[in-house]
């Protein structure tokens, strides 16, 4: 089962990298957060096929995920999720700029959302210099968010830049992601990338309508959609697009899930 699960994740990561690689630009005006520009383009794998093998025929699931929060936008996002009565997963950071918003993690938990780990500093240079630095950063994140969530229950990670990023090679060598993924599994963590991207963390602040279209266009024919969005002060337009994004998935028969449910049937 473990081997199967590892294969699943490997296929998933490769597929995600390809899909993400198509639509990546740098967030040149951001100091903290995902910019995605460093993801590697790898020949396509059967990401959705491998995922769908384990599901009931035609079951549609959508996983709304938000990276880089909590932030000045989080309350708006939580209000919308509450109004629409759908769950989401937040891959959080605890960097200098967003620390005042960390208590919002508690609200997210109370309202039934999942908290997962992204990075404390979200500094590629810092976290990817070697594997020890990465896990020190994760430890710092866990400590900073521990007043607001049961950190012992957290088992999901999303690597900054994705699990196949190459920006890390500059700092930690070409094998660092391979080492980190292995170590994550040894530590009991699961990691996940995405196969649908809002492309909202780019320069120029795309409009809500553009973000909505980016998501819908990326869905393609995926029955399982892990949607990458961002939760930062710069992504207010993502929150503005969120009601329409949720409505689209509802109207198209998708069930809203948290990342914890991603491998329940494997």
Conformational region of residue 188, where left means phi above 0, alpha means psi within -120 to 50, and beta covers everything else: left
Residue 67 is a binding residue for Zn ion (CB under 5 A): yes
Q: Which is closer to Zn ion, CB of 78 or CB of 228?
A: 228
Site residue total, Zn ion (CB under 5 A): 5
Query: Minimum CB separation from Zn ion for residue 252, in Å?
Result: 27
**Distance of CA 76 to CAs 35, 182, 206, 238, 257, Å?**
22, 37, 18, 10, 20
**Distance of CA 202 to CAs 1, 76, 139, 141, Å?**
38, 20, 28, 25
Query: Minimum CB separation from Zn ion for residue 116, in Å?
Result: 12
Binding test (CB under 5 A) with Zn ion, winner from 16, 61, 64, 68: 68
CA distance 151 to 254: 29
Residue 38 is a binding residue for Zn ion (CB under 5 A): no
CB 90 within 8 A of CB 66: yes
Q: Which is closer to Zn ion, CB of 87 or CB of 161?
A: 161
Q: Which is closer to Zn ion, CB of 117 or CB of 223?
A: 117
**Distance of CA 206 to CAs 119, 213, 214, 227, 240, Å?**
25, 11, 10, 17, 11
Q: Give the binding range for Zn ion (CB under 5 A) out of 12-20, 40-48, 156-164, 208-216.
A: 156-164
Tell me which residue of 73, 16, 64 sits closest to 44, measured CA to CA. Answer: 16
Q: Which is closer to Zn ion, CB of 50 or CB of 181?
A: 181
Q: Give the binding range for Zn ion (CB under 5 A) out of 65-73, 108-116, 169-177, 188-196.
A: 65-73
Q: Give the binding range for Zn ion (CB under 5 A) out of 75-83, 154-162, 182-190, 256-264.
A: 154-162
CB 130 within 8 A of CB 105: no
Q: Which is closer to Zn ion, CB of 93 or CB of 241?
A: 93
Query: Minimum CB separation from Zn ion for residue 118, in Å?
Result: 5
Q: Give the binding range for Zn ion (CB under 5 A) out of 9-17, 155-163, 207-215, 241-249.
A: 155-163
Q: Give the binding range for Zn ion (CB under 5 A) out of 1-9, 143-151, 160-168, 244-252.
A: 160-168
Give the DSSP H/E element, type plus range, for residue 117.
Answer: strand 114-119
Q: Is the dihedral of CA 154, 264, 198, 109 positive or negative?
A: negative
Residue 137 is a binding residue for Zn ion (CB under 5 A): no
Binding test (CB under 5 A) with Zn ion, winner from 34, 39, 154, 192: 34
Please give the residue ranges that form the binding site for Zn ion (CB under 5 A): 33-34, 67-68, 160
């Amino acid at each position: 089962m473990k081997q199967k699960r590892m294969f699943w994740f490997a296929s998933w990561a490769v597929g995600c990298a390809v899909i993400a690689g198509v639509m990546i630009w740098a967030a040149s005006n951001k100091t903290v957060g995902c910019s995605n520009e460093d993801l590697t383009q790898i020949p396509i794998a059967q990401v959705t096929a491998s995922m769908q093998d384990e599901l009931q025929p035609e079951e549609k699931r959508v996983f709304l995920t938000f990276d880089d929060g909590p932030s000045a936008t989080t309350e708006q996002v939580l209000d919308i999720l509450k109004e629409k009565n759908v769950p989401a997963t937040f891959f959080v950071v605890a960097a200098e700029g967003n620390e005042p918003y960390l208590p919002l993690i508690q609200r997210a938990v109370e309202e039934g959302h999942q908290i997962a780990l992204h990075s404390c500093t979200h500094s590629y240079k810092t976290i990817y210099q070697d594997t020890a630095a990465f896990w020190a950063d994760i430890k710092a994140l866990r400590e900073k968010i521990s007043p607001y969530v049961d950190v012992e229950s957290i088992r999901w990670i999303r690597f900054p830049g994705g699990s196949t990023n190459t920006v890390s090679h500059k700092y930690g060598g070409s094998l660092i992601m391979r080492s980190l993924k292995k170590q994550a599994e040894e530590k009991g963590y699961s990691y996940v990338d995405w196969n649908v991207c809002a492309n909202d963390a780019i320069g120029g602040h795309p409009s809500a309508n553009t973000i909505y279209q980016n998501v819908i266009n990326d869905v393609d024919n995926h029955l399982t959609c892990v949607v990458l969005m961002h939760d930062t002060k710069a992504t207010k337009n993502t929150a503005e697009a969120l009601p329409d994004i949720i409505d689209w998935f509802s109207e198209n028969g998708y069930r809203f899930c948290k990342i914890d449910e991603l491998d329940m049937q494997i």
